Chains A and B, each alone.
Chain A
Amino acid sequence: MAGLATTLGSGAMTNSIRDITQADVLLVTGSNTTEAHPVLALQMKKAVRQYGAKLLLIDPREIELAEFAYLHLRQKPGTDVALFNAMAHAIIAHAWANERFIAERTEGFAALKEALADWPPERAAVITGVRARDIVAAARLYAEATNGAIFWAMGITQHTHGTDNVKALSNLALLTGHIGRPGTGLNPLRGQNNVQGACDMGGLVNVYPGYQPVTSEDARRKFAAGWGVPNESLSANVGLTVTEVMNGVLDGRVHAIYIMGENPMLSDPNLNHVKEALESVDFLVVQDIFPNETAVLADIILPAASFAEKVGTFTSTERRVQMVRPAFAPPGEARQDWQIVTELANRLGHNWRYDCPAEIFAEMAALTPQYAGMSHARLETGGLQWPCPTPEHPGTPILHTSQFTRGLGLFCPVTYRPPAEETDEEYPFILSTGRILFHWHGGTMSRRSPGLAAIAPEAEAEIHPDDAAQLDIVDGDWVQVASRRGEVLATAKLTNRSPKGAIFMTFHYAETAVNLLTIDAVDPTAKIPEYKVCAVKMNKAPFVVAASAASKGNKLLTKNN
């Protein structure tokens, strides 16, 4: 979200799910929406089928949305910046830009125009593998729309140039003025149910709740007063991200890790490295609802409550805060997470006195301007979209309607950088990871449903039939997929969904832990790992290995570097 925070001043979806049908062009890129955000995708399909919108799909894979696309550009994975820059070049060169919007609402246009001079579509065509005239057609389609809306997800951000990708998309919206109205905007689709909320609440190394920087003395003073602690007890140093924490253990800076509701031993890149860190850390606490791969390495495991056993709120991708209500008591002695954290704080010399989550929400809202007008009492009657500054405020479905959060929208020239790891003779395929419809993330929840497990029981590696033929692989074969960091077994699925030279796998299966393969190279600003591009090789699994995998339920293979 660092990209939008720079260009607009606010890193969140600008528009709402409801107004998708008011767009006449939808630009969807790096989002397999029908599988990862299925109900939102229904709204996109409705826009196309019922309201006549044109879908411009920019994605290397022939995903289900391709059936609905007016134009589908299949760029080589990791070359997005080159493509978006060339579209911006074409918009300026053909005078399709919204000059009035640029003059009134933006800054930095001259610098952008100069930088884009180097990006004619013909140059991008060589890098991306997309024909120059298709790039120009895409630029025209988006620019000439009455209302054009851009949607993206992890396919854009999970790159070492993820922040640049977002800035390049932001440039397109600012050039055309497709922002601040229904059916327009820059719309990052957030993955987890409450990833927007976890960010809003300051579950980030550099900001307090409401994105107030920890480096600001005013913010530190405000939170110290709100929390009743001395100013100097709050650290002014930006903390360590997940990936940095693992390195911090290995170089002796981090000695204890407390994990609430996450499973880095499945979800983080380069798992062998994570395992080494979590095995060697002095003290590891895991608080969760299930035993998982991370808990195995813990010193203490604390049993927590599931969403069906707690009161609270989730904030959705469209900034909508909605109630979570309990249906059951937690099983056995399991407790709600807020109760556990409160007990620990009080054992460490504090005096927290919360009777219920509504009181925690009220304390948070008093310190968080975007949530200031919300309360559990108000949310009981329906969700509210932030910013909602006062108890009378109706919430904000569309951001930046008259001005941007930062004032003027900022054009940010970006240049193409290749992915951290490129293919070579030994590792000739590009591996991208992602989701499928029937499972979720590490599979903790969805794989415990017999119905979902029956539909999608085991990990598949999607590969183009031509590539498979060269490797003498047929559909359903057991294959070994290996990178420089590890190897896994999966069944081959031959499909034209994958472009030639690319392999797609999901990270839903613990026994085929695809993050053994992924690279822990990260975007320098957002620190997001490059899950969408790493170099791998694929081989038909030797008979003995395949037979043993089939009988034992596909045991995980690891390789020590």
Chain B
Amino acid sequence: MLTPDRTVHTTCPYCGVGCQIDLHIKNEMVYRVDGRFDNDVNNGKLCVKGRFGYDFIHAPDRLTHPLIKNDQVAEDRPLTMSPAHPVTLSGFAPTSWETALDTVAVRLRETREKYGPDSIAILTSAKCTNEENYLLQKFARAVIGTNNIDHCARL
């Protein structure tokens, strides 16, 4: 039997039940996932997604660089492809974090100055952590100055 290099106790990322899991890791890959018994939520049990649905972590089409729309880049040169997700990003070029963040900050500032804070809308995420959601709504409210902050709770 394979011995993991390490196991990490965390929370399943699929539905809202909140099953507690152990990720078993070997050679920097998740090769097995178990439900944990030390809780009142799943008590060792998992569903098919919670046990086997983790290939996405290591998927080859993960985004790894900031990308910027660039008219100079040929429209038909796809950057990433996945059979299940036939998404073709065309007309984007990799860029540095500095350039990407500066561009976002400048464009948001210009938009706010020209049209007011309520001309900017922010969508936060039911897949992100509490800390990230808290911070993004703080960004909308305290930095931009708008309550246009929502997520897919309704969907």
What are 16 residue pairs bridging A and B, where the CB atoms are less than 8 Å apart in the complex? A18-B40, A189-B16, A192-B16, A283-B107, A289-B63, A290-B59, A290-B63, A302-B104, A314-B129, A316-B17, A317-B16, A348-B109, A440-B49, A445-B14, A452-B48, A510-B84
Contacts of A364 in B (CB 8 A): 130-131, 134
Chain B residues within 8 Å of A199, by CB: 153
Does chain B have a CB within 8 A of A64?
Answer: no
B108, B114, B150, B155: the one within 8 Å of A240 (CB): B150
Contact B10 A203 (CB under 8 A): no
Contacts of A315 in B (CB 8 A): 18, 130
Q: In the complex, which residue of chain B has the Cβ closest to the Cβ of A367? A: B134
CB-defined contacts of B88 to chain A, threshold 8 Å: 296
Chain A minimum-CB-distance residue to B20: A322
Knowing A256-B111, A326-B8 are in contact, say whether A308-B30 is a contact too (CB < 8 A): yes
Top 8 closest A-B pairs, CB basis? A332-B64, A316-B18, A312-B129, A261-B125, A239-B147, A192-B126, A38-B47, A303-B63
Nearest chain B residue, comparing its CB with the CB of A359? B131
Q: How far is the CA of A335 from the CA of B100 in the complex (A)?
A: 13
Q: Are B87 and A39 in contact (CB under 8 A)?
A: no
Contact, CB under 8 Å: A254 / B121:
yes
Query: Cβ of A201 and Cβ of B154 under 8 Å apart?
Result: no
The answer, among B49, B111, B128, B149, for a CB contact under 8 Å with A204, is B149
Assuming the contacts A235-B118, A238-B147, A291-B87, asked whether A198 and B56 have C-beta atoms less than 8 A apart, the reply is: no
Kindly state the separation between the CA atoms of A234 and B146 in the bound complex, as whole angstroms.
7
Mark contacts of A33-54 with chain B using CB atoms, 8 A cut-off: 1 yes-contact digit, 0 otherwise.
0001111101000000000000
Q: For the complex, what is the distance from the CA of A327 to the CA of B108, rounded to whole Å?
A: 34
A200 located at the interface, meaning its Cβ lies under 8 Å from any Cβ of chain B in the complex: yes
Contact digits for A430-451, partner B, Cβ 8 Å, 1 yes 0 no: 0000000111100111111111
Residue from A157, A267, A268, A360 with most neighbouring chain B CB atoms (10 Å) = A360
Q: How far is the CA of A451 from the CA of B53 in the complex (A)?
A: 8
CA of A211 to CA of B31, assembled, Å: 40
- Asked if A511 and B41 sit within 8 Å, CB to CB, the answer is no
- What is the number of residues of chain A that contact chain B, defined by CB distance less than 8 Å? 151
Contact between A337 and B142 (Cβ–Cβ < 8 Å)?
Answer: no
Q: Mark A396-439, 1 if CB is under 8 A from B, else 0.
A: 00000000000000000000000000000000000000000111
Asked whether, in the complex, the Cβ of B111 is within 8 Å of the Cβ of A449, the reply is: no
Encoded as 1 (CB less than 8 Å from any A CB) or 0, chain B from 30 to 68 comes to 100000001111100111111011111101011111111
Can you list, as one digit per residue, whether each of A165-208 has a CB less than 8 Å from chain B (1) or not (0)?
00000000000000000000000011111111111111111101
Residue of B nearest to A303 (CB): B63
Closest chain B residue, CB of each to CB of A447: B84
Q: How far is the CB of B65 from chain A (nearest CB, A)?
A: 5
A198 near B131 with CB under 8 A, answer no
* B63 near A304: Cβ-Cβ < 8 Å: yes
Query: A60 within 8 Å of B by Cβ?
Result: no
In whole angstroms, what is the CA distance A259 to B141 when docked? 15
Query: Can you list, as one digit per residue, whether each of A465-490 has a CB less than 8 Å from chain B (1) or not (0)?
Result: 00000000000000000000000000
Contact of B63 among A209, A282, A291, A327 (CB under 8 A): A291
Instruction: Please determine whether A348 and B63 come into contact, CB atoms closer than 8 angstroms.
Output: no
| Candidates B8, B25, B66; contact of A300 at CB < 8 Å | B66
Contact of B153 among A38, A198, A254, A299 (CB under 8 A): A198
A15 in contact (CB, < 8 A): no
A318 touches B141 (CB 8 A): no
Chain A CB within 8 A of B2 CB: no
Residues A449 and B56 in contact in the complex (CB < 8 Å), given A208-B141, A317-B17, A338-B132: yes
B84 A443 Cβ-Cβ under 8 A: yes
One digit per residue, 1 when the CB lies within 8 angstroms of any chain B CB and 0 when it does not, for chain A 282-302 equals: 110100111111011011111
Does B127 contact A192, Cβ atoms closer than 8 Å?
yes
Q: Are B23 and A262 in contact (CB under 8 A)?
A: no
A227 touches B138 (CB 8 A): yes
CB distance from B21 to the nearest CB of A (A): 10
In the complex, are the beta carbons of A334 and B64 less than 8 A apart? yes
Measured in the bound complex, the distance between the Cα atoms of B127 and A300 in whole Å is: 20
B41 near A234: Cβ-Cβ < 8 Å? no
**Closest CB of chain B to A411's CB: distance in Å?**
25
Q: How far is the CA of A510 from the CA of B87 in the complex (A)?
A: 9
Determine the chain B residues whose CB is within 8 A of the CB of A546 once the complex forms.
none
Q: Which residue of B lies closest to A258 (CB)?
A: B122
User: In the assembled complex, how far is the CB of residue B129 from the closest CB belonging to chain A, in whole angstroms?
Assistant: 3
Q: Does A353 interact with chain B (Cβ within 8 Å)?
A: no
Residue of B18, B92, B134, B146 touching A318 (CB-CB under 8 A): B18
Q: 13 extra interchain contacts, Cβ-Cβ under 8 A, other than A308-B23, A522-B154?
A: A17-B17, A38-B48, A158-B154, A193-B12, A206-B147, A208-B141, A235-B117, A240-B148, A257-B122, A268-B155, A290-B63, A318-B41, A345-B138
